[in-house]
Amino acid sequence: MDNIDSNEKLLAMPPLTVDAEAGLARFAATVERTGARPATRSIPPFVFARPAKWLAAAAAVVVVATTLTLTGVADSIFQIFETKQFAAVTVTPTDIKTLSELSQFGKLTWSSQAEPHQVATLAAAMSETGLPGISVRVPASVTAAPKYGAMAKTSATFVFDAATAQRSAAAIGRTAPPMPAKLDGSTLIFSGGPAIVITYGDEAASGALFVGVAKAPTVSSDGATVAELQAYLLSQPSVSPALAAQIRAIGDPASTLPVPIPAGQVQAKNVSVHGTTGLFVGDSTGLGSGVIWQQNGLVYAVGGSLTEAEVLAVANSLK
C-alpha cells in the first residue's frame, strides 16, 4: 500500500489544457501535406493483435469448433488433430466473445503456459526453441530493425464438466443441451509451440511485418468421439447456427485448423506458398494482410501492413 501511495504522488497527472481544435488543424495540415488517405476498412485485427493472443483465440476455436475424427480406445490418449491446413471460418463479434470462454464447458488447466518473450538474436531463439532458423527478404517499405521473440511449448488440458455447462447456460438465461455421459469428465489435451516470431515495427506504426514459425498445434483425446463432440459443441446455445454450418462443412476435420475471420472486415482465400496451399487473409489495399501455411510439421505465418503481393513475396522468400 505504501508503494501505491508514494507512486500516486509521483504519477499524479499535472494539470494540462489540451486544445483539440489546434490539434485538429495541425492534423488536417499534415493530411493535406502528406496526401494521407483515410482507411475505409480495418486492418485484420489479428495482424496487430499480439500473435500469441491470436493463437490462443484460434486454439479456443479449435476446441469448440473442430469436428474430430473417431478416436480409439477410451482411457488411452490419442492424437486426434494435427494442423496440416487451414480453413477460414467467418465469426461475428458475438461468436468470438462466447467461443473464447472455454470455461463454459468445463475446466481448462494449463500444464505449461509459456509466455512469448523477447530474445537478443535469432540464434538465441533457435537455441531456446529447438526450431530451425527463419529469414525473409524484407520489403523496402519496412524499415524497422527486427526483434526476435521465442515461446516454449505450451500445453493445456481441458476436462468437460456437465454441471459447469449447465451453470454457464443458466447464466445467460438458456438451457444447455444435456452433456452425454461419456463426454462428461473426458479430456482433451492441446499442444502448441514452441514458436519463434520475428517482428519489424509495431502496431502503432505503418511498415510493420511479422514472421513466425511454430510446431504445428495438436489436440489429443482420451476417447471422446467426433460424433459426440460435434453433436454436443455445435448444438450449444452460444454457437450460432451459421458458425456451426461452416464448421460442419470443413472437409478434413482431423487436420484442418479453422481460422476465425471477423465477419465483413476481411477476406480469406487459398493461395500457393512454397508449393503448398496456404490461407491468405486480408485485403489488397495494402492496409494489412497475412498468410499462414504448414510444411513438414511446422506452421509458418507472415503478416503486416503490406499488400497481398508483398506479403506473398515475403512468404515465398522465407528460408
Q: Smallest distance, Å, CB 187 to other proteins?
A: 26
Task: Choose the binding region for other proteins from 7-15, 161-169, 181-189, 223-231 (rule: CB under 8 A).
Answer: 7-15
- Rounded to whole angstroms, how far apart are CA atoms 101 and 226? 21
Regarding beta strands 85-91 and 256-262, do their DSSP bridges make them parallel or antiparallel, or are they unpaired? parallel
Total residues at the site for other proteins (CB under 8 A)? 46
Q: Does 141 bind other proteins (CB under 8 A)?
A: no
**Closest to 99 measured CA to CA, from 290, 269, 263, 236:** 236
Q: Does 264 bind other proteins (CB under 8 A)?
A: no
CB 292 within 8 A of CB 299: yes
Q: Smallest distance, Å, CB 78 to other proteins?
A: 35
Q: Smallest distance, Å, CB 294 to other proteins?
A: 27
Q: Smallest distance, Å, CB 103 to other proteins?
A: 12
Task: Pinpoint the alpha helices (H) of the chain.
Answer: 2-11, 20-34, 45-48, 51-65, 93-99, 122-129, 162-171, 226-234, 241-248, 308-317
Q: Which is nearer to other proteins, 203 or 252 (CB)?
A: 203
Q: Does 3 bind other proteins (CB under 8 A)?
A: yes
Q: Does 11 bind other proteins (CB under 8 A)?
A: yes
The C-alpha cell that represents 9 in the structure block: 504522488
CB 262 within 8 A of CB 288: no
Q: Does 21 bind other proteins (CB under 8 A)?
A: yes
**287-316: contacts with other proteins (CB under 8 A):** 287-288, 305
Q: Does 140 bind other proteins (CB under 8 A)?
A: no
Q: Which 3 state secondary structure label does DSSP give 97?
A: helix
Q: Which of 32, 140, 173, 251 binds other proteins (CB under 8 A)?
A: 32
- Rounded to whole angstroms, how far apart are CA atoms 165 and 235? 12
Q: Does 59 bind other proteins (CB under 8 A)?
A: no
CB 102 within 8 A of CB 108: yes
Give the interface with other proteins as residue ranges (CB under 8 A). 3-4, 6-7, 10-14, 16, 18-32, 34, 36-43, 45, 49, 53, 93, 202-206, 287-288, 305
